[in-house]
Amino acid sequence: MLPRRSAIFLGLAGVLLAGIGVFGWDGSKWWRVRVDQNSQSVVSIQEVHHHIHDGDHYFVGGYDSLDNGDTTEFVIDTPATGEVHMEFAYSSNKAYTLELWEGATYTGGTSVDPVNSNRQSANTAALVVKKNPTTVDTSGATKLLEIAIGTGGRFASATEVADSRENEMVLKQSETYYYKITSNEAGATLTYLGSWYEIE
């Protein structure tokens, strides 16, 4: 039952402005909306932050020491339902290349357990991640990305982590993606961080 006070409704999912506070409708019930006391602005968070709170945001990360021509490779298998919003960050102290294919096939690989960004959540990722597969076939795959960073051809410095939510991808369902990072110099330390959220 809504408070019997004057109210303004902004759209079907709008905000109820009442004498006792600000309320928002989430489709099933009314919730009190937080307001900053200084600016009187509604307090909101980014969508990614929301998915972290819901326990639907995951990541895998680490680093490898690579010599010239060595590679770090990942294959990821997406679930048959829902959406996966993925971004992949990478950095090295030496020149390297990154290639990404959609629709590759593979065998083997070491399973990687994704970490839930909400450490209080028991949710587990539907996305399957494997590192350094035994074999990979890209003959029937689509190459989505091929870049060189560092002295081998630079659009950014070799130490930069190329990472932004503006660059995230919504991945296809029931698909395999293959990331291949190749060091172009000896003595490289490659850092990687893949993060994503899942929407059912």
Report pLDDT digits (tens) over 145-187.
998 887 543 344 444 444 445 568 999 999 999 999 999 999 9
Residue of 166 and 80 predicted with greater confidence: 80
* Same domain for 99 and 38: no
**Domain with 12 in it:** 1-44
Residue 23 to residue 1: CA distance in whole angstroms? 13
Mean pLDDT confidence for 127-137? 98
Structural domain count of the chain: 2
Residues contacting 59, CB < 8 A, separation 6+: 114, 115, 117, 193, 194, 195, 196
* Same domain for 98 and 5: no
Residue 28, token pair as written in the block: 């099933």
In the prediction, which pLDDT does 168 show? 81
* Same domain for 11 and 68: no
Residues contacting 31, CB < 8 A, separation 6+: 23, 24, 25
* Same domain for 102 and 38: no
Quote the percentage of the chain above a pLDDT of 70.
69
In the prediction, which pLDDT does 143 show? 97
* Same domain for 12 and 73: no
Count of alpha carbons within 13 angstroms of residue 8, beta-carbon side: 5
> pTM of the entire structure?
0.75
Residue 123 to residue 87: CA distance in whole angstroms? 20
* Same domain for 8 and 34: yes
Q: Is residue 49 part of a domain?
A: no
